[in-house]
Structure 1
Amino acid sequence: MKRTEIKRRPLADTVVATLEPDSKEYREHDGNNVYLRVRPDGKKSWQLRYKKADGKWSWIGLGSYPAVTGSAARQKATELRASTVEGSNPLATMRAKKAAELESASNTFEKLAREWYASKRKGWTNGTAVRTIGALELHVFPVFGTRSYREILPMEWMDFLRSMERKGIIEQTSRVRGMCREIYDLARVTGRATHNPLEGLHKFLQTKPAENYAHVSQQELPPLLRAIRSYPSAMDIRIGLHLLSMLACRPSEIREARWSEFDLKKALWTIPAERMKRRREHLVPLPHQAVTLLKELYVLTGSYQLLFPGRSDTTKARSNTVFL
Structure 2
Amino acid sequence: MKRSDIKRRPLADTVIATLEPEMKEYREHDGNSLYLRVRSDGNKSWQFRYKKPDGKWSWLGLGSYPEVSGSLARQKAAELRADAANGSNPMATKRARKAAELEATNSTFERLAREWYASKRKNWTDGTAVRTIGALELHVFPIFGKRIYQEILPMEWMEFLRSMERKGIIEQTSRVRGMCREIYDLARVTGRATHNPLEGLHKFLQTKPVENYAHVSLEELPPLLRAIRSYPSAPDIRIGLHLLSMLACRPSELREARWTEFDLGKALWTIPSERMKRRREHLVPLPHQAIEQLLLLQNLTGHYQLLFPGRSDSTKPRSNTVFLMALRRLGYEGRQTGHGFRHIASTILNEHGFEENHIEAQLSHVKEGVAGVYNKAIYLKSRTAMMQWYADFLDSLEKGNVVHGQFAKAPQLRAP
The answer to whether the 8 Å contact 1:311/1:318 transfers is yes
Corresponding residue number in structure 1 for 2:34: 72
Q: Within the alignment, does 1:244 sit opposite 2:244 as a pair? A: yes
- Looking at structure 2, the residues matched to 34 and 106 of structure 1 have their Cα atoms a distance apart, in angstroms, of 42
Question: For the Cα contact (< 8 Å) 1:33–1:49, is it kept in 2?
Answer: no
Counterpart CA distance in 2 for 1:240 and 1:150 is 47
**C-alpha separation between the residues in 2 aligned to 1:155 and 1:232?**
51
- Partner AA of 1:49 in structure 2: T
Question: CA 1:117–1:73 in 2, change beyond 3 Å: closer, same or farther?
Answer: farther
Q: Does 1:206 align with 2:206?
A: yes
Is contact 1:34–1:48 with CA below 8 Å preserved after alignment?
no
Say if 1:315 and 1:174 are closer, same or farther in 2 by CA, change over 3 A: closer
The SS at the match of 1:49 is helix
User: Contact 2:270–2:281 (CA<8 Å) still a contact in 1?
Assistant: yes
With over 3 angstroms needed to count, the CA separation of the structure-2 counterparts of 1:185 and 1:303, relative to structure 1, is same
Bigger RCO of structures 1 and 2 (CA < 8 A, at least 6 apart): 2
Note closer, same or farther for the CA distance 1:179–1:31 as it changes in structure 2 (3 Å cut): farther
1:245 & 1:310 partners in 2: Cα distance? 22
Work out whether 1:308 is the aligned partner of 2:308.
yes
Tell me how far 1:225 sits from its aligned partner.
3.1
- Structure 1 equivalent of residue 14 of structure 2: 49
Q: 1:82 aligns with which of 39, 42, 45?
A: 42
Report the more deviating stretch, 302-311 or 314-323. 314-323
Question: Within 2, Cα distance between the matches of 1:205 and 1:261?
Answer: 43
- Aligned residue number for residue 275 of structure 1: 275
CA distance, structure 1, for counterparts of residue 238 and residue 159 of structure 2: 50
Is residue 272–residue 280 contact of structure 1 (8 Å, CA) maintained in 2? yes
Residues 157 and 285 of structure 1: CA distance in aligned 2, closer, same or farther (over 3 Å):
same
Deviation at 1:316, TM superposition (A): 4.2
Residues 43-68 of structure 1, C-alpha deviations (whole Å, 9 max, x = no match): xxx5322699xxxxxxxxxxxx9xx7
Give the alignment of 1:54-133 within 5 angstroms.
69-70=31-32, 72-75=34-37, 78=38, 82-83=42-43, 94-95=66-67, 107-120=107-120, 123=124, 124-133=128-137
Unpaired segments ≥5 residues, structure 2: 18-28, 45-64, 73-97, 328-416
The AA in structure 1 aligned to 2:14 is: R
Partners of 2:312 and 2:150 lie apart in 1 by: 51
* Contact 1:264–1:291 (CA under 8 A) maintained in structure 2: no
Amino acid at match of 2:137: I
Identity of aligned residues (%): 66
Normalised to the residue count of structure 2, the TM-score between the two structures is: 0.50
8 Å contact kept, 1:269–1:285: yes
Q: How far apart, in 2, do the equivalents of 1:164 and 1:238 lie?
A: 35
After TM superposition, list the pairs within 5 Å mapping 1:114-153 onto structure 2. Answer: 114-120=114-120, 123=124, 124-141=128-145, 145-146=146-147, 148-153=148-153
Q: 1:192 Cα deviation (Å)? A: 1.6
Listed one character per residue, the Cα deviations across residues 167-202 of structure 1 (whole Å, up to 9, x for unaligned) are 544333323322221121011110122222221221
C-alpha contact (below 8 Å) 1:181/1:199 kept by paired residues = yes
Deviations 1:140-161 (A, max 9, x none): 44xxx43x43344434433443
Q: CA deviation at 1:257?
A: 1.6
Secondary structure of 1:150's aligned partner: helix
In 2, the alpha carbon distance for the partners of 1:51 and 1:308 equals: 71
Tell me, in whole angstroms, the C-alpha distance in 1 between the residues paired with 2:133 and 2:228. Answer: 35
* TM-score w.r.t. length of structure 1: 0.62
Tell me the C-alpha RMSD between the 2 structures. 4.0
SS in 1 for 2:13: strand
Q: Aligned equivalents of 2:221 and 2:265: distance in 1?
A: 29
Residue 283 of structure 2: SS of its match in structure 1?
strand
CA deviations 1:186-219 (Å, max 9, x no partner) are 1111012222222122122211233322223323
Task: Count residues with an aligned counterpart.
Answer: 256
Q: Which residue of 29, 32, 45 corresponds with 2:6?
A: 32
Q: CA deviation at 1:247?
A: 0.7
Distance 1:255 1:107 in 2: 39
1:40 paired residue number: none
> 2: CA distance between counterparts of 1:131 and 1:51?
50
Aligned partners of 2:111 and 2:248: how far apart in 1? 42
**More divergent stretch after superposition (312-321 vs 207-216):** 312-321
